[in-house]
Structure 1
Amino acid sequence: MTVRIAAVGDIVLQQPETEKLFEPSSAILRAADVAIGQIEVPHTTSTETTGITVPSPPAEPEALRAMAQAGFNVGTTAGNHAFDLGTKGVVDTIESAAAYGIATTGTGANLAAAAAPVVTSVRGRTVGVLSYNCVGPRESWATSLKAGAAYVKVITHYELDDANPGNPPTVYTFCDKTSLRAMTDQIAALAERADVVVVALHKGIGHTPAVIADYEFEVARAAVDAGAGMVVGHHAHIMRGIEVYRGAPIFHGLGNFVTVTDALTPDADNDSEELRAWAKRRRELYGFEPDPTMPAYPFHPESRNTAIAVIDVDEENRVRPAFIPCWIDEQARPTPLTRGEGDSVVAYIEGISRAAGLMTSFSWAEDGKAVVVS
């Protein structure tokens, strides 16, 4: 019997009445045996800020009820905001998700707990899920004595190709071997006891659709080599390319799903100096302004192209990857699209995949409800 696993990108629930934002997609998510979403920010009553850049404000613990009601039963939590609200933020998020039936992986009271997988049995098979943060900051990392996220440390090297000081350097990124080995050892151990392993990686260059950094290929392919049957990425808040490596799909970035917040829209009267500075720097780095008609969705206009990743696992544990294209509508609702209405989203995903050097094939399934990836 086939087991279906669905996964989406970042979920941010920092506005009221988020239940309605899942309405267009909930039937698809509930139909999956395992539905995985990235819980991007801490859900806690704590207001103690520990972030060093622009920390996320807390989301209401009760907001996770909407995520559960939509059909999610697994939440990945390793990410750059994991420790923004300290140990209480980490623990409250895990406990609140569990209270609504969402099992989490990626954060914990210490590194061993953060690296513990979710393992669930469905239709006589076991599905294991692991979650790792690849984008820092260092303060987000768990240790043997500190709460936080499971992680892979990434090193950035800048090389000036000529002798002209101040010229733009060539940037090289690669994984620290010790933390990469810790990840692959954990995946291999999980693959020994699970029929299919899904690995979630918080990675990528923010708000940048087509560029996939060197380390992203390294860490994602290492996960597959260690036994992952599916790799899903998030963090960039915009769709990124898709590849198939050794038969396993790598969704390098699933972009936004339900992401509603006012934390990224500066208010001259109320917001911090750091947030105003970040809004200015965001314009300089990424060259976009959010749509002023969607104040709760302060992201790149192209990020409204998104997708639900889907794999069907057959009786012999062979994986058939696909995705369901979605468009984030004016109410910030990810809305699944079928053949015809979703062609522009598929063309967008194929375009950014090609721009990243990926020669993946995309074709509509016979029922016109999903795009098969090969």
Structure 2
Amino acid sequence: MDISAQQALQRPILAILTMDDEEEQFRGNRSNFIDLIRTGHEMGVSVCVITVKDLRPRSKRMIGHVYDLDTNTWSQRWIAPPHVIYNRIPTRQDEALPEVQLTLQACLKNPSIRLFNPMFFNKWTLFEWLNKAKTTAKYIPITMKMTNSAELENVLKTYPIVYLKPIRGKAGKGIMKVQRSYLRQLRKPEFLLSVQETKGSQVIKSSTVTQLWNKVREQIEDDEEYIIQQGIKLSRHKSRPFDLRVLVQKNAKGEWDLTGIGARLAGKLSITTHVPRGGTIDDPEKLLASSFGTDGARKILGRAKKAALAIARQIEKKSGHLLGEMSMDLGVDIAGNIWFFEANSKPMKFDEPPIRKKSLERIIHYSIHLLRLKHAKITDTNTRMML
């Protein structure tokens, strides 16, 4: 019996969807894929990798990349059609390709396949969605699209610090900070533009908004869209701001649940807390306790969980698609208020071991839930036909 027959008879199939690669056969984080394959094996689910090029939603078999846990080797095999597809297409540019969109749409329309997290999030769209619900609007900083210098000037009149963020950015890339201050002698405003670099930031001074705007435009590619966002005075630990990294996922019942909360402490010269930009991983309760005490820290973490779940439900509702997980950046200001900064539909790996382990199990649990839902629907349809 070949592998496709074995899998079809013995185990449900979860396919990790990614892009093909001429040299490496497929793209993506192999160690992450192997971790999920190993977790699936332990929980009775066959996990493989499939590329957009090889995915044929209505075919009886297709080529998949299978990992042998005994020999630690990859091989290409014929597999049965996957029951559930976990979208890990690596970049927005890949996902926007016409052939990729056609494949994703074909999967979404196929009743035999359950595809979750079919697209990257757009920052501006997220803020629009979240502002439309009372349960989530309270967590949203003042945010608007950046289209001209007059808008930037008006925001700076109200908020002495604002952040400029690319709508389709990731991991802190492209973020800028603008701070308005006054020259004491002349009583004229001065604008400090901090541009995020790999492990720090470059500071550029401007004496007028026009000059500032020109400096900002120099940092942006022609087709990039940005938002302007109110700067929040974040809580600090040892003079360094920090925020919370929250992972929410669907559980075995198909309900949104908190998988874990981590913390990211900004680098000494960085304007963001992202680890690739110099941030460091830390314990959220410890950092919060340094400002709010142990009881205060626990209460804030409880409110962060409540906020994250409300945000996840609203995003899924407004997206109109099936979502299974998302990570979020939540800020805590000096008064202990929760603020939403960003959500990612394709979360990066959480390095905290308990969160990491639970996150892998949740993906498998949710895949099994989707499979049961499909079988229940088929059974119900067949029963109605018999009646």
What is the TM-score with the length of structure 2 in the denominator?
0.27
Q: Which structure's CA Rg is the greater one?
A: 2
